Structure 1
């Protein structure tokens, strides 16, 4: 079960991810818009920081964050969805 801080961080990750997806669509038609490119870079950094923090505190969100070369597949450390992780 998620605590309040975990839920807030996950929501922030989703919101920043949405902003990135949105600006990517805009950049497809406006590839030279410097303001949009700066916005994209800023939100990309925010997203990485938030995902890194979430991974450090609660475990990986994607397979990109599961293995860090430490000899351990990190997804097995926390409960699976059918074990109550998605309540």
Structure 2
């Protein structure tokens, strides 16, 4: 299978998505020990919404990012198209 050439705009968008998702991981860990911090909960929810928007934007142009029903497939089935996450 040959690797699909991606436009240069893909990489900054993916980097932004990865950074936002890292913030979500950190906020999750913080909220596990500070469950009543309303500011952190608000920040988590806002960041989760932003992550969802970024993910939709990436998938609209470049294909699905997650399997098992977390991302939709285009037609034809496009889960077998590269690049794979480890190829980025």
Aligned to 2:20: 16
Q: Secondary structure in 2 aligned to 1:16?
A: helix
Gaps of 5+ in 1: none
In structure 2, relative to structure 1, the CA distance for the partners of 1:36 and 1:49 (3 Å cut) is same
- Distance in 1, matches of 2:59 and 2:33, equals 34
For residues 19-30 of structure 1, the aligned pairs below 5 Å read 19-30=23-34
Q: CA RMSD in A?
A: 2.2
Q: Render the CA deviation track for 1:41-62: whole Å, top value 9, x for unaligned.
A: 0100010000011000000111
Q: Render the CA deviation track for 1:6-61: whole Å, top value 9, x for unaligned.
A: 00110011000000000000000100101000000010001000001100000011
Aligned to 1:60: 64
Quote the offset at 1:66 in angstroms.
3.4
TM-score with structure 2 setting the length? 0.78
Higher helix share: 1
Gaps of 5+ in 2: none
